[in-house]
Chain A
Protein backbone atom coordinates (compact mmCIF):
# COMPACT_ATOMS: atom_id res chain seq x y z
CA UNK A 1 0.00 0.00 0.00
CA UNK A 2 1.38 3.40 -0.96
CA UNK A 3 2.09 5.87 1.80
CA UNK A 4 0.17 8.54 -0.12
CA UNK A 5 -3.05 7.67 -1.91
CA UNK A 6 -4.98 10.02 -4.15
CA UNK A 7 -8.50 9.73 -5.48
CA UNK A 8 -9.78 9.77 -8.05
CA UNK A 9 -6.96 8.81 -10.43
CA UNK A 10 -8.79 10.40 -13.34
CA UNK A 11 -11.51 13.02 -13.32
CA UNK A 12 -13.36 14.56 -16.25
CA UNK A 13 -15.81 17.38 -15.67
CA UNK A 14 -17.57 20.19 -17.48
CA UNK A 15 -16.45 23.80 -17.28
CA UNK A 16 -17.90 25.48 -14.21
CA UNK A 17 -18.17 22.40 -12.06
CA UNK A 18 -16.83 22.23 -8.49
CA UNK A 19 -13.90 19.83 -8.32
CA UNK A 20 -12.60 17.87 -5.34
CA UNK A 21 -9.44 15.79 -5.28
CA UNK A 22 -8.61 13.78 -2.18
CA UNK A 23 -5.34 12.71 -0.60
CA UNK A 24 -4.86 10.26 2.28
CA UNK A 25 -1.54 9.44 3.86
CA UNK A 26 -0.32 6.94 6.40
CA UNK A 27 2.87 8.50 7.80
CA UNK A 28 3.57 11.32 10.23
CA UNK A 29 4.21 14.52 8.33
CA UNK A 30 5.43 18.05 8.89
CA UNK A 31 3.71 19.48 5.81
CA UNK A 32 1.61 18.55 2.80
CA UNK A 33 2.00 19.96 -0.70
CA UNK A 34 -0.45 20.20 -3.56
CA UNK A 35 1.35 20.41 -6.90
CA UNK A 36 0.15 21.00 -10.45
CA UNK A 37 1.83 19.38 -13.42
CA UNK A 38 1.02 20.37 -16.98
CA UNK A 39 1.70 18.16 -20.03
CA UNK A 40 5.14 19.69 -20.59
CA UNK A 41 6.26 18.08 -17.33
CA UNK A 42 7.09 21.05 -15.13
CA UNK A 43 5.64 21.12 -11.65
CA UNK A 44 4.21 24.17 -9.94
CA UNK A 45 3.60 24.28 -6.22
CA UNK A 46 0.03 25.32 -5.43
CA UNK A 47 -0.06 25.01 -1.66
CA UNK A 48 2.06 23.94 1.26
CA UNK A 49 0.03 23.43 4.43
CA UNK A 50 0.39 21.84 7.82
CA UNK A 51 -3.02 22.63 9.30
CA UNK A 52 -6.40 24.13 8.49
CA UNK A 53 -7.19 25.63 5.15
CA UNK A 54 -5.61 27.82 2.48
CA UNK A 55 -7.23 29.63 -0.42
CA UNK A 56 -5.70 31.10 -3.55
CA UNK A 57 -8.07 32.38 -6.18
CA UNK A 58 -10.38 29.54 -7.17
CA UNK A 59 -8.27 26.94 -5.38
CA UNK A 60 -8.85 25.82 -1.80
CA UNK A 61 -6.79 23.26 0.10
CA UNK A 62 -7.74 21.74 3.43
CA UNK A 63 -5.99 19.32 5.72
CA UNK A 64 -7.16 17.25 8.70
CA UNK A 65 -4.08 16.11 10.58
CA UNK A 66 -6.00 13.75 12.90
CA UNK A 67 -7.62 11.95 9.96
CA UNK A 68 -4.47 12.17 7.79
CA UNK A 69 -6.47 13.52 4.92
CA UNK A 70 -6.33 16.54 2.62
CA UNK A 71 -8.56 17.83 -0.14
CA UNK A 72 -7.96 20.19 -3.03
CA UNK A 73 -11.02 22.01 -4.34
CA UNK A 74 -11.40 24.00 -7.53
CA UNK A 75 -14.40 26.28 -7.82
CA UNK A 76 -15.82 27.37 -11.19
CA UNK A 77 -13.45 25.01 -13.03
CA UNK A 78 -12.03 26.06 -16.39
CA UNK A 79 -10.36 24.11 -19.23
CA UNK A 80 -7.04 25.69 -18.30
CA UNK A 81 -7.25 23.85 -14.97
CA UNK A 82 -6.71 20.62 -16.91
CA UNK A 83 -3.52 19.11 -15.51
CA UNK A 84 -2.24 16.41 -13.20
CA UNK A 85 -2.60 17.33 -9.54
CA UNK A 86 -0.14 15.68 -7.18
CA UNK A 87 -0.30 15.43 -3.41
CA UNK A 88 3.06 15.12 -1.65
CA UNK A 89 3.76 14.81 2.07
CA UNK A 90 6.95 15.73 3.87
CA UNK A 91 7.99 12.99 6.26
CA UNK A 92 11.72 12.20 6.37
CA UNK A 93 11.59 13.16 2.72
CA UNK A 94 8.94 14.23 0.24
CA UNK A 95 6.65 11.32 -0.64
CA UNK A 96 4.40 11.72 -3.67
CA UNK A 97 0.98 10.40 -4.55
CA UNK A 98 0.44 8.99 -8.01
CA UNK A 99 -1.43 12.06 -9.19
CA UNK A 100 -4.97 12.84 -10.34
CA UNK A 101 -5.43 13.61 -14.01
CA UNK A 102 -8.09 16.33 -14.31
CA UNK A 103 -9.71 17.20 -17.63
CA UNK A 104 -12.15 20.09 -17.81
CA UNK A 105 -14.22 20.16 -21.00
CA UNK A 106 -15.59 23.44 -22.34
Chain B
Protein backbone atom coordinates (compact mmCIF):
# COMPACT_ATOMS: atom_id res chain seq x y z
CA UNK B 1 0.00 0.00 0.00
CA UNK B 2 1.16 3.57 -0.63
CA UNK B 3 2.64 5.37 2.37
CA UNK B 4 1.88 8.75 3.86
CA UNK B 5 2.57 11.45 1.28
CA UNK B 6 3.70 14.97 2.11
CA UNK B 7 4.56 18.01 0.05
CA UNK B 8 6.61 19.98 -0.39
CA UNK B 9 9.70 18.17 0.88
CA UNK B 10 11.60 21.38 1.45
CA UNK B 11 10.56 25.00 1.86
CA UNK B 12 12.58 28.12 2.53
CA UNK B 13 10.75 31.34 3.42
CA UNK B 14 11.45 34.62 5.11
CA UNK B 15 10.05 35.46 8.51
CA UNK B 16 6.56 36.95 8.47
CA UNK B 17 5.69 35.05 5.28
CA UNK B 18 3.02 32.37 5.16
CA UNK B 19 3.50 28.71 4.30
CA UNK B 20 1.28 25.66 3.88
CA UNK B 21 2.06 21.95 4.03
CA UNK B 22 -0.04 19.13 2.62
CA UNK B 23 -0.44 15.56 3.81
CA UNK B 24 -2.26 12.62 2.28
CA UNK B 25 -2.51 9.74 4.77
CA UNK B 26 -2.64 6.05 4.01
CA UNK B 27 -6.02 5.11 2.57
CA UNK B 28 -8.48 4.09 5.27
CA UNK B 29 -6.53 5.63 8.15
CA UNK B 30 -8.96 7.63 10.24
CA UNK B 31 -6.40 9.22 12.52
CA UNK B 32 -3.97 11.85 11.24
CA UNK B 33 -1.24 13.66 13.17
CA UNK B 34 0.95 16.68 12.51
CA UNK B 35 4.25 16.84 14.41
CA UNK B 36 6.93 19.50 14.64
CA UNK B 37 10.50 18.28 15.04
CA UNK B 38 13.12 20.87 15.85
CA UNK B 39 16.71 19.87 15.11
CA UNK B 40 18.11 17.63 17.81
CA UNK B 41 14.77 16.96 19.45
CA UNK B 42 12.07 14.34 19.19
CA UNK B 43 8.84 15.14 17.35
CA UNK B 44 6.24 17.21 19.21
CA UNK B 45 2.56 16.67 18.51
CA UNK B 46 0.85 19.75 17.08
CA UNK B 47 -2.57 18.37 16.26
CA UNK B 48 -4.43 15.08 16.01
CA UNK B 49 -7.48 14.50 13.82
CA UNK B 50 -9.95 11.65 14.01
CA UNK B 51 -11.65 11.72 10.59
CA UNK B 52 -12.37 15.45 10.14
CA UNK B 53 -12.61 16.28 13.84
CA UNK B 54 -9.85 17.61 16.10
CA UNK B 55 -8.96 15.28 18.99
CA UNK B 56 -5.98 17.16 20.44
CA UNK B 57 -4.59 20.56 19.48
CA UNK B 58 -3.32 21.53 22.92
CA UNK B 59 0.22 22.19 21.69
CA UNK B 60 -0.71 24.00 18.49
CA UNK B 61 0.29 27.71 18.63
CA UNK B 62 -3.11 28.84 17.48
CA UNK B 63 -2.13 32.47 17.01
CA UNK B 64 -0.10 31.50 13.94
CA UNK B 65 -0.70 27.81 13.18
CA UNK B 66 -3.86 26.32 11.73
CA UNK B 67 -4.74 22.91 10.35
CA UNK B 68 -7.72 21.39 8.67
CA UNK B 69 -8.91 18.04 7.39
CA UNK B 70 -12.17 19.04 5.80
CA UNK B 71 -13.18 15.76 4.16
CA UNK B 72 -11.48 13.48 6.65
CA UNK B 73 -8.79 12.43 4.19
CA UNK B 74 -5.93 14.77 3.34
CA UNK B 75 -4.89 17.64 5.55
CA UNK B 76 -3.14 21.00 5.37
CA UNK B 77 -1.07 22.73 8.04
CA UNK B 78 -0.54 26.47 7.71
CA UNK B 79 1.78 28.90 9.44
CA UNK B 80 0.89 32.58 9.15
CA UNK B 81 3.09 34.52 9.80
CA UNK B 82 6.21 32.39 10.21
CA UNK B 83 8.88 33.08 12.81
CA UNK B 84 12.52 32.03 12.87
CA UNK B 85 11.82 29.47 15.59
CA UNK B 86 9.35 27.68 13.29
CA UNK B 87 12.31 26.23 11.37
CA UNK B 88 11.83 22.49 11.78
CA UNK B 89 10.74 19.31 10.06
CA UNK B 90 6.97 18.97 9.94
CA UNK B 91 5.92 15.34 9.99
CA UNK B 92 2.55 13.93 9.13
CA UNK B 93 1.53 10.50 10.37
CA UNK B 94 -1.56 8.35 10.11
CA UNK B 95 -3.03 5.34 11.85
CA UNK B 96 -6.09 3.13 11.60
CA UNK B 97 -8.88 3.76 14.10
CA UNK B 98 -7.77 2.37 17.43
CA UNK B 99 -4.68 3.05 19.49
CA UNK B 100 -3.34 -0.51 19.13
CA UNK B 101 -2.50 0.03 15.48
CA UNK B 102 0.89 1.18 14.31
CA UNK B 103 1.45 4.76 13.31
CA UNK B 104 3.04 5.42 9.91
CA UNK B 105 5.04 8.57 9.17
CA UNK B 106 5.45 10.57 6.01
CA UNK B 107 8.83 11.80 4.72
CA UNK B 108 8.38 15.22 6.36
CA UNK B 109 8.67 18.78 5.13
CA UNK B 110 11.83 20.60 6.15
CA UNK B 111 11.02 24.28 6.72
CA UNK B 112 13.72 26.90 6.96
CA UNK B 113 12.67 30.40 8.03
CA UNK B 114 15.25 33.10 7.29
B8 to chain A, nearest CB (A): 12
Main secondary structure of the interface of A (DSSP, over half): strand
Could you tell me if A93 and B56 are in contact, using CB atoms closer than 8 angstroms? yes
Could you tell me if A99 and B105 are in contact, using CB atoms closer than 8 angstroms? no
Q: On chain B, which size bracket covers the interface?
A: 20 to 34
CB-contact partner of B42 in A40, A44, A98, under 8 A: A98
- Complex contacts, B61 vs chain A, CB 8 Å: none
A-B contact count (CB 8 A): 52
Q: Which of B37, B41, B44, B93 has most A Cβ within 10 Å?
A: B37
- Complex contacts, B44 vs chain A, CB 8 Å: 96
A94 at the interface (CB under 8 A from B): yes
Could you tell me if A42 and B42 are in contact, using CB atoms closer than 8 angstroms? no
Could you tell me if A43 and B91 are in contact, using CB atoms closer than 8 angstroms? yes
7 A-B pairs closest in CB distance: A96-B42, A41-B108, A42-B107, A43-B105, A41-B89, A98-B42, A48-B102
B96 to chain A, nearest CB (A): 13
Could you tell me if B106 and A42 are in contact, using CB atoms closer than 8 angstroms? yes
- Smallest CB gap from A97: residue in B: B42
**With A40-B108, A93-B48, A94-B45 in contact, do A45 and B102 touch (Cβ < 8 Å)?**
yes
Give CA–CA (A43, B99) in the complex, Å.
Answer: 19
Could you tell me if A88 and B102 are in contact, using CB atoms closer than 8 angstroms? no
- Smallest CB gap from B33: residue in A: A94
CB-contact partner of A90 in B37, B99, B110, under 8 A: B99
- Smallest CB gap from B101: residue in A: A48
Could you tell me if A45 and B105 are in contact, using CB atoms closer than 8 angstroms? yes
- Smallest CB gap from A31: residue in B: B100
- Complex contacts, B102 vs chain A, CB 8 Å: 33, 45, 48
B18 at the interface (CB under 8 A from A): no
B72 at the interface (CB under 8 A from A): no
